[in-house]
Amino acid sequence: MGDIRDWPRPLPAGAIGRYRPTSWLNLSQLEPAEKAAHWQEIREQQPALAALLAEPGFQALRTQFNADVMIETEPHD
């Protein structure tokens, strides 16, 4: 298992969810083709989330803090 202190770094597709108790996908660390495919899936399956992430205010906040976009891929309590 990886060490949480090693983040951020690109995660192999098979490793997603192994480094945290929940399943997360770091959209900022994906290759462009993978990122486009995941964004398309989010737009189709979670349009409200896609709209929120595309808002200029969110983008400005993300830029200000140089933040990665992390999406929970499975619901957890």
User: pLDDT tens-digit profile of 32-67?
Assistant: 888 788 778 878 888 887 888 778 877 776 666 666
| Contact predicate 23/72, CB 8 Å | yes
Other Cβ atoms closer than 10 A to 41? 13
Q: Is the peptide bond before 21 cis (omega within 30 degrees of 0)?
A: no
Q: Is the pLDDT of residue 2 over 50?
A: no
Q: What is the pTM of this model?
A: 0.45
Report DSSP letters for 3-55, one per residue.
-GGG-SSPPPGGGTTSSSSS-EEEGGGS-HHHHHHHHHHHHHH-HHHHHHHHS
- Alpha-carbon distance of 59 to 57, in angstroms, equals 5
